[in-house]
Amino acid sequence: MRVIGTAGHVDHGKSTLVEALSGINPDRLAEEQSRQMTIDLGFAWLDLGAGETIGIVDVPGHRDFISNMLAGVGGIDAALLVIAADEGIMPQTREHLAILQLLDIQNIIVVLSKIDLIDDPEWIELVTMEVEDLLVESQLGSCPLVAVSAQTGAGLDELVETLRHMLGRLPQRVNYNQPRLPIDRVFVVSGFGAVVTGTLSGGALTIGDSIELQPSGMSGRIRGLQSYQRKVESAAPGSRVAVNITGVNSGEIQRGDVLTYPGQLHPTLLADAHFTQLGNIDRPLAHNAEVKIFCGACESIANARLLDADKLAPGGCGWLQIRLRDPLPISRGERFILRYPSPAETIGGGVIVNAHPGRRLKRFQPEIIQELELRLSGTAGERLALAAKGDAPQRRSELQKRLGFSEGELSAALDEALSGGLVRQIDPQRYWAAESWQQLYQGIVTELSGYHQANPLRLGMPRPELQSRLKTKLSLLDTIIEGEDRLILESGFVRLGEHTIRFSAEQQAKVMKIMHALEAEPYSPPGIAELNRIAGEELVRALSDLRRIVLVNDDIAFAAVTYDLLVAEIRRHISEAGEIDAKTLRDKFGSSRKYAIAMLEHLDSLGITQRVGDLRKRGRNL
């Protein structure tokens, strides 16, 4: 499915040419037909044979309706630039050609119309040379030129064949299951309700699909679909589509809204863009100038913040952050046009490189400009790595949506980014920029280095404390720890691999006193308060971190070897007898009820035992 547009001066016979090609008069308004002048967008279609139908968008040629022209020319695959043989190139011809170039529409056929009005071959030759000079000047010297007459039919077959050949060389429209329909017309059909039309891209639409309209966020459902006045169950990307919507009133929809799937597109008030200014305008573009932006079928007043200059001279290029007055549903990679609101004049255009920067960018920052340039012209893998930056890994489907890649393009970009070390694969569906990974890793190292210095007798920082300090998800923290050899998770503590607890000779002597005291009465050991008096809280905690001792509550600790023996015996007894109580445990080890109850309550908390009345039975973790 393909869509072409017609452009040119108001008197150059575009609509007549469309009708001669397709048999359809694209001028739907009575005023248009009476004045023989296209005011709003006109639509038709042409059967090229072999099942190939192309849509035709006939845009207004008069400068007073340039905003209508811009609403229809976005999303087309090719353009017919119509120039009347009896008049030649007009100022509006140049403006339309410039707009086509700014929108990166490279497939252009120049149509020299109304040749039936010219009897002088030299005049035709003169006009042809003038057009060829314009094309060379515009670096479009390879564009085909076809002379036609809509009245006599001369040249129409050649035009159709030229069009068929040009469109046949184009790659298929990408279907990445992210349908976008910029709405260029809204009307009501009696008994059916709201109908919207546009050129579909990004994915297919199917009857019954839930849809969303942006920027309003209103939701509805597709009741019916038509493409070139034929009812269809599903509409393919690259085609002109009419969508009958239920759940939304036509009065709530306007030209410029975008129909898409719920949650796939979000409006923005800021956008980063690369901009090219036309060379024939009279004044430079100043920082923060008020402009009108046209993107897709939508438009808004905006301010153009120059990021790398105070003024942009005619013919120059630069980086803009566009601050919109109204939120617009635009996406990365979309082309746009800027015009001065008053007096109305086309300034230039460019491409959106980041539709959701999320912040006001500082000006004259080399690192910001470098990142913007990478977003514009970096390899697929480099652009994917930029899309994967952030506080958390991105799902594969989200990366595809952000980048607008087909499945094959996404796979190739992932291969490039992974092999080049630009991204890290977190799990089968999630990826994270290596730069973002490194930032979190360095944050962990910094926190642990400071903690080790301040707490040399701690094995490491408790894992929940580290998570809280870094303000990250526990699962992501664990992924970084598992993926970096320098980070060690041990007994619930995170430490750097080079960190160990080292006791001085004096501290080692106190440690020996603690261990002797615990071993003297292994099943009725001195309480933690007594151990603290012997060696101090720091040393007792260090022995706990090292698992030389095990704290079972705030008052009681056992030597690790004694603790392990107690646990093994309790497991064995429950396995054989099915249960154990405090009295049995006390008598078995010649302890006291205080220690037996403390041990069993501790094992309850670990799920090794389960309390049933005064008994303990098998726990979930036995």
Residues 86 and 68 occupy one common structural domain: yes
27 lies in the same domain as 81: yes
The domain that contains 305 carries what CATH number? 2.40.30.10
Q: Which of 213, 237, 260 is the last residue of a domain?
A: 260
At 61, is the pLDDT very low, low, confident or very high (cuts 50, 70, 90)? low
Count of structural domains, the chain: 5
Residue 79 lies in a domain: yes
Distance of CA 589 to the CA centre of its chain: 65
Rounded CA separation 243/261 (Å): 13
Q: What is the pLDDT of residues 424-479, one digit of tens each?
A: 999 999 999 999 999 999 999 999 999 999 999 999 999 999 999 999 999 999 99
User: Taking residues 340-368, what's their average pLDDT?
Assistant: 92
Lowest mean pLDDT across 233-237, 404-408, 419-423, 521-525:
404-408
**Contact predicate 146/109, CB 8 Å:** yes
- The pLDDT tens digits of the residues spanning 238-288 come to 899 999 999 999 899 999 999 999 988 899 999 999 999 999 888 899 999
Q: Is residue 535 part of a domain?
A: no
Mean pLDDT over 91-115 rounds to 91
User: Model confidence over 122-157: pLDDT tens digits?
Assistant: 999 999 999 999 999 988 888 999 999 999 999 999
Concatenating the DSSP letter of every residue in 178-193 gives --EEEEEEEEEETTTE
Out of 36-40, 311-315, 406-410, 581-585, pick the least confident.
36-40
What's the one-letter identity of residue 400?
A: Q
For residues 278 and 385, membership in a common domain is answered with no
433 and 305 in one domain? no
Tally the C-alpha atoms within 13 A of residue 559's C-alpha that lie toward its C-beta. Answer: 18
Does 47 reside within a domain?
Answer: yes
Residues 217 and 117 occupy one common structural domain: no
The whole-angstrom separation of Cα 183 and Cα 241 is 10
The count of other CB atoms within 10 Å of the CB of residue 98 is 19
The answer to whether position 512 is within a domain reads no
What is d(CA 442, CA 432) in angstroms, rounded to the nearest whole number?
Answer: 15
Instruction: Look at phi and psi of residue 613 and say left if phi exceeds 0, alpha if psi is from -120 to 50, else beta.
Output: left
Domain coverage including residue 61: 2-168
State the CATH number of the domain containing residue 587: 1.10.10.10
- Looking at the fold, whether 216 and 302 belong to one and the same domain comes out as no
In this structure, are 10 and 130 located in the same domain? Answer: yes
358 in the same domain as 385: no
Task: Look at strands 78-84 and 108-113 and give their pairing.
Answer: parallel
Question: Does a structural domain hold residue 148?
Answer: yes
Residues 143 and 184 in one domain: no
Instruction: Kindly report whether the global pTM for this prediction surpasses the value 0.75.
Output: no
Query: Which of 383, 387, 378 is closest to 357 using CA atoms?
Result: 387
Sign (positive/negative) of CA torsion 88, 91, 94, 96?
negative
Q: How far apart are CA 278 and CA 282, in angstroms?
A: 10
- What CATH number corresponds to the domain at position 37? 3.40.50.300
Do 8 and 128 share a domain, yes or no?
yes
**Is 397 inside any structural domain?**
yes
DSSP for 486-515 reads: TEEEETTEEEETT------HHHHHHHHHHH
CB 166 within 8 A of CB 144: yes
The one-letter code for the residue type at 373 is E
Q: Tell me: do 198 and 329 sit in the same domain.
A: no
Tokens coding 111: 């149509």
pLDDT at 36 over 80: no
> In this structure, are 130 and 186 located in the same domain?
no
Query: Given 310, 336, 368, which residue is the final one in a domain?
Result: 368
